[in-house]
Amino acid sequence: MKVSLFIPCLTELMFPESGLAMVKVLKHIGAEIDYVEDQTCCGQPAFNSGYRKEIIPVAERFIDLFKDKEIIVAPSGSCTAMVRVFYHELDLNPEKKEALQSLSQRLFEFTEFLVDQAKVNGLGGSFPHRVTYHESCHLSRELGVKEQPRKLIRGIKDIDFVEMEKPDTCCGFGGTFSYKFPDLSIAMVARKCRYIEESGAEYVIGADSSCLMNIQGYLEQHKMKAKTMHIAELLAASLKL
């Protein structure tokens, strides 16, 4: 099975570790890795800010790069949703639109791919720490991926997995929202971090680096105990990859 990597800009620029961890786990389950070096960003920051025309060339380029790939996997629910759900709302050239239809069926978020496609129920591994899971909005609500990451976490030996209060409440990031409405965004992440703190977790696990960056930023400044960790890094660490 050949898996092509879809590396979001945030993974490229700020959190390459989560991308590398994803590669390690994919290799561990026997996947052959393919990496398109010429990929850039999916265009979500502009799309979410109301700019649609501006990202049509970006979307069409993405489709061209990935249309012939067997399986495409991304370490982000948000970027996966951008392509799989929101690209369809763009005024694309009909030919690209058709390619997008089929591409969308071969594009998966990392945990969704592991559980639903590769039929991984748990990878074994060991991680003797208390963790909680933050449900990122696009992953859970646009893609409907709620149970898959939890299944993978529960599959780790000696992990102490606790649910925080309202794990599906937004962390308040929302891309450009976080600086267009900074006070509101901070109030939202403050609440999220309170729930994390109350769970007593040492690590808050998530499947989107954007939410984790936002949460980590608040945890750090407020000297809270928990640390953020991408689920790919958790799996790689538990397997000592």
Partner 1 sequence: MQLNPKKTKTYIKSALRDQHLKEAVDRATQSALKKRQDKVDLMPYWEDMRWQAHKAKAGVIDHLDRYLEEFEANCMANGTTVHWAVDGEEARKIIIDLIRKNNVKSIVKAKSLTTEEIYLNHFLVDQGLEVLETDLGEYIVQLLDQIPSHLTSPALHLTRKDVGKIFHEKLGVPYTEDPPELAQIARQKLREKFLAADMGISGVNFAIADSGSFCIVENEANAHLAVTMPRIHVAVMGIEKIVPTLPATAAFLKLQAISTTGQKQSSYVNFVGGPTRQKFGEGCEEVHLVLLDNGRSTILADPQLRETLFCFRCGACLNNCPIYQQVGGHAYGWVYMGPIGISLLPQYLGVDEGRYAPFTSSLCGACYEICPMRINIPHHLLKLRNRVVDSGYSMKVEKWAMWGFGFLASRPWLYRLLTWFPGKFQKLMPGNRAFPAPGYGKERALGRMDLKGFRKRFKEMS
198 binds partner 1 (CB under 8 A): no
What minimum distance in Å lies between the beta carbon of 223 and partner 1? 11
Among residues 2, 32, 34, 54, which is the contact residue for partner 1, using CB under 8 A? 54
Q: Please say which residue, 41 or 159, places its beta carbon nearer to partner 1.
A: 41
On the CB side of 24, CA atoms within 13 Å amount to: 18
Name the residue with tokens 């049509």.
56
DSSP 211: H
Q: What three-state secondary structure class fits 229?
A: strand
221 binds partner 1 (CB under 8 A): yes
162 binds partner 1 (CB under 8 A): no
160 binds partner 1 (CB under 8 A): no
Q: Please say which residue, 6 or 155, places its beta carbon nearer to partner 1.
A: 6
Name the residue with tokens 């850039």.
40
Residue pair 204/133 in contact by the 8 Å Cβ criterion: yes
6 binds partner 1 (CB under 8 A): no
52 binds partner 1 (CB under 8 A): yes
Cβ-Cβ contacts under 8 Å for 121 (sequence gap 6 or more) = 115, 151, 155
Residue pair 153/133 in contact by the 8 Å Cβ criterion: yes
Residue pair 194/161 in contact by the 8 Å Cβ criterion: no
Rounded CA gap, 229 and 48, in Å? 25
Among residues 67, 130, 151, 191, which is the contact residue for partner 1, using CB under 8 A? 191
Q: Please say which residue, 155 or 172, places its beta carbon nearer to partner 1.
A: 172
Give the chain's end-to-end CA distance (angstroms, integer).
20
38 binds partner 1 (CB under 8 A): yes
144 binds partner 1 (CB under 8 A): no
**Among the residues of 1-109, which ranges form H helices?**
9-13, 16-28, 44-48, 56-66, 77-81, 94-104
The pattern of x and - marking residues 93 through 132 that bind partner 1 according to CB under 8 A reads ----------------------------------------
Residues that bind partner 1 (CB under 8 A): 7, 9, 11-17, 19-20, 23, 35, 37-41, 43, 45-55, 57-58, 61, 86, 89, 137-138, 141-142, 168-170, 172-174, 177-191, 213-214, 216-218, 220-221
